Homo-oligomer: A and B are copies of this chain.
Amino acid sequence: MQTKRLNLVDTAWLNVDTPNAPMQVGGLLTFQIPEDAPADFCQRLVDAWRGHSVAERPWNQRLRGGRWRNVAPEWELLDAIDIEYHFRHSALPAPGGELELGALTSRLHSHPLDLTRPPWECHIIEGLAGNRFALYLKVHHSLIDGVAGMRLLARALSTSVDEHDRPPFWAIPPKKSSRRSSPEAQRPGLYRAVSQLVGEATEQVTSLSGFARILRDMLRTARSGTNGMGLPFAAPSSVLNGRINAPRRYATQLYSLSEFKALAASAGVTINDLLLTVCGTALRRYLDEIGALPDRDLTAGIPVSVRPADGEEEDAAGNAITFIIANLATTEGDTAVRLKRIAESTRAAKHSLEKLSGAAITQYTVALMAPYILSLVSGMAGRTRPVFNVTVSNLPGPREDLYVEGARMEAFFPTSLVTHGQALNITIHGYADTLGFGFIGCRDSLPSLQHIAVYAGEAVEELRALYGKGDTGGPRRRKAHATPAGKDNGRKTAAKRRTTPARSRGQSRTDT
Contacts and interface: CB of A to CB of B under 8 A. Distances in A.
Interface residues of A toward B: which range? Answer: 35 or more
A486 interface: no
Contact of A504 (B53, B500, B501, B502): B53
Interface stretch (A85-93, A285-293, A372-380, A454-462): A85-93
Given A246-B114, A501-B165, A503-B52, A94 B512 contact: no
Nearest to A41: B500
Contacts of A48: 500-502
A85 B443 contact: yes
Interface string A195-215: 000000000000000000000
A512 B44 contact: no
B511 A94 contact: no
Contact of A45 (B40, B84, B500, B503): B500
Contacts of A164: 500
Contacts of A93: 42-43, 46, 89-91, 126-127
Given A503-B52, A504-B51, A511-B84, A40 B247 contact: no
Given A43-B93, A43-B94, A512 B116 contact: no
Interface in A237-252: 245-247
Nearest to A42: B93
A359 interface: no
Interface in A36-65: 39-40, 42-53
Given A53-B504, A502-B51, A511 B40 contact: no
Nearest to A19: B19
| A46, A84, A103, A405: most-surrounded residue (chain B CB, <10 A) | A84
Given A85-B443, A246-B114, A443-B85, A502 B50 contact: yes
Interface in A478-505: 495, 498-505
A121 B329 CA distance: 40
A316 B127 CA distance: 52
Interface string A436-447: 000000011000
B500 A44 contact: yes
Contacts of A247: 85, 114
A177 interface: no
Given A500-B44, A500-B45, A512 B51 contact: no
Given A85-B511, A443-B85, A501 B51 contact: yes
Contact of A92 (B19, B91, B245, B495): B91
Contacts of A94: 39-40, 42-43, 91, 126
A216 interface: no
Contacts of A165: 500-501
A322 to B, nearest CB: 37
A347 interface: no
Contacts of A127: 91, 93, 127
A219 B504 CA distance: 54
Given A19-B19, A51-B504, A502-B50, A111 B111 contact: yes
A116 B444 contact: yes
A438 to B, nearest CB: 21
Contacts of A512: 84-85, 88-89
A70 interface: no
A178 interface: no
A89 B510 CA distance: 10
Interface in A252-302: none
A508 B85 CA distance: 12
Contacts of A107: 88
A227 interface: no
Contact of A245 (B51, B88, B116, B505): B116
8 pairs of A and B residues whose beta carbons are closest in the complex: A51-B502, A84-B511, A51-B503, A44-B500, A48-B500, A91-B93, A91-B91, A89-B93
15 contacts: A43-B498, A44-B500, A51-B504, A52-B503, A84-B508, A84-B511, A85-B247, A89-B509, A91-B92, A91-B127, A114-B246, A114-B247, A116-B245, A116-B246, A165-B501
Given A49-B502, A89-B509, A89-B512, 10 more contacts: A40-B498, A51-B501, A51-B504, A51-B505, A52-B503, A89-B93, A91-B92, A91-B93, A116-B444, A164-B500
